[in-house]
Amino acid sequence: MPVGKRVDHLTGRDRCGFAPGMTQRADWGTLDPFYEGLAGKVVMGRPVANAGFLEALLRRDPFPRYHFYLESERLAAMQSQELERRHPTLHARGAFVVDTWAALPHALATNRFHAFHLSDCHNRPGPMVRLRNLHAPDIFPITATTHSLSFQEFKRHVLAHLWQGVTPRDCTVCTSRAAEKVMQGYYGWLREAYGLGNALFREPTLEIVPLGVEPKAYLVPAPAEKRQLREMLAAYESDEKVQGGLAIPKDAVMLLALGRVSPGLKMDLLPVVRAVQRLVVEGRHPGSLCLVVAGSMPAKDPYLDLLQALARNIGLTVRRVPRPDEDLKRTLLAAADIFISPSDNVQETFGLTILEAGASGLPVIASDWDGYRDLVATEGENATGILVRTFGRQEQSPMDDAMGSILPGDVHHLRLAQSTAVDVAALARAIETLASDEPLRQAMGRRAHERVTGQFSWDNVVERHLALWDELWTRTVDEDAARKATPPFELPYGRIFGWHPSAKLNGLIVQTSRSGENVYRGREFPQVYADLDGWLPEQALKPLLVLARKPRPAAELVQRLAAAQSLTPEEAERLALWALKHDLLEIVE
């Protein structure tokens, strides 16, 4: 039974969740590196968020050990090196266990876990639940965080969330109210589309825990310091990475747009230029504003060339900064006056750059869109920015929905985004309001910094995860039903392909062959392929060959081997078939 009930004052959760018979947290595990650069995959803001979370978790150090089970030995070795480099004290303590996915069954059976946490809810939470139910002594919580949720392949991943082995301790961690609503929509739509009942196709619970930033890593400059930073940016004039240089016109209000610069995968900045054009028509001098566009972008991009040409026509200075490193990014944030993010793309569920802007003391102009609503306060004296309203389509859009299964994801997302309108007139009013009122900008920026520090620091986010994992232990589960359940995403090879062989092992009589006798006497060595590590119970091979020195029915041999070596019947049969394949056992006709 869970013990030690207490209330977490940060979240209000009952924190009473330890594994049965334990008075403290057991180990923590994952299937992901969290340092995503190791896998060569960079997907929008997710790598930054995942690394930030892991760093804060390890700094807090609430668990005895941290288990990382990765796809290959190469990735496991790289992860071990990275963990030792970043956290030598924890490494010296023996706090890290790094292995491959192949080691999971044995690891789950022989270790106690407080929780497994996956860095993305795409990343196999359903199969992880199945492995826990099969092998682990405890039904520990399994959680997975939402990131981008809109690509076509995601529906297949979400479908694997729904099955009978899912328990109330399994949870999709939504980073915003928008992400929670999207996941509710997925679960409801999939049930309806596939005719799935609630009893046989259970879903993970949904809880909201945001992403975070490290507020201390960002500079909140005084006005004089901001001017000095502008002078520093001018030094990038000759930097090949900065197109057009970074000299900001004197006395211009600097608008900063930071993130993935793509109208198909993040936001279209053309409405910003159109909004400034409105202001110029109404009498604002275009030289009083400067738009800096920084982030992931191609070196040559027709879209950005068009944007810059339109800006040039109205006299607006635009600076392009492709792929800024962390130092330059933070300098840009500190030097800016206003952060602007008119996102119109459904793949955006949170908005990490909004937090980075707040940590830098910047007021925000953002679209009234998905997760942004959780990050920008707009009410009265608590306001940290301005949300600009957006307009979208009706729910039924069969033509675009049908093409979504055919088109490349970026093309389909571009089409969806181009049918989402940001109110350009309201955007112009927001820019004018903040550009013309420096005290208001400073007040909003100060409140934004306080809000991010108080609610969205990684330390805060980790505490909320700990409270969630503890509380999930208090939820009652039907352990017997969970362990007996078989998921529909698990292909039953024996049932579908089992008729391929001529006969089954159970109908045979077998004995140790001459080669098998040489193996158990140490005169020969079996050839076990590398990818079978952790799957083939090699330690039971010699006992198998000893048991089969005289002819035995294969069914009896498997049964006796399983009992003697503490194997499952499946493992014992697997070893016997492998031995027969390698001529260590032979058939007695």
pLDDT at 18 over 80: no
Q: Are strands 364-367 and 338-341 parallel, antiparallel or unpaired?
A: parallel
pLDDT given for residue 241 in this prediction: 56
pLDDT at 22 over 70: no
Spatial contact of 175 and 146, defined as CB atoms under 8 Å apart: yes
Spatial contact of 213 and 458, defined as CB atoms under 8 Å apart: yes
More confident residue, 246 or 550: 550
pLDDT at 548 over 60: yes
* The domains spanning 27-212+463-484 and 217-451 adopt the same CATH topology: yes
The 8-class DSSP code of residue 111 comes to S
Spatial contact of 267 and 346, defined as CB atoms under 8 Å apart: no
351-401 per-position pLDDT tens digit: 999 999 999 999 999 999 888 999 999 998 999 999 999 999 887 788 988
Cα separations (Å) of 76 from 36, 52, 506?
Answer: 12, 20, 38
Helix (H, G, I), strand (E, B) or coil at 386: strand
Domain boundaries 217-451, corresponding CATH code: 3.40.50.2000
What is the rounded CA–CA span in Å between residue 348 and residue 254? 24
**Reported confidence tier of residue 12, pLDDT bands at 50, 70, 90:** very low
Output the six-digit token pair for 358: 């707040």
What is the rounded CA–CA span in Å between residue 95 and residue 86? 13
What is the rounded CA–CA span in Å between residue 344 and residue 565? 60
pLDDT given for residue 16 in this prediction: 52
- What ranges do the domains of the chain cover? 27-212+463-484, 217-451, 498-587
Helix (H, G, I), strand (E, B) or coil at 20: coil
226-271 per-position pLDDT tens digit: 888 988 888 765 455 566 567 888 889 999 999 988 888 889 999 9
Spatial contact of 158 and 37, defined as CB atoms under 8 Å apart: no
Three-class DSSP labels, 389-451? CEECCCCCCHHHHHHHCCCCHHHHHHHHHHCCEECHHHHHHHHHHHHCCHHHHHHHHHHHHHH
Triad 203, 205, 208: Cα angle to 5°: 140
Non-local CB neighbours of 175 within 8 Å, separated by 6+ positions: 145, 146, 147, 208, 209, 210, 211, 349, 350, 371
**What kind of fold does domain 27-212+463-484 have according to CATH?**
Rossmann fold (3.40.50)
306-326 per-position pLDDT tens digit: 999 999 999 999 999 888 888
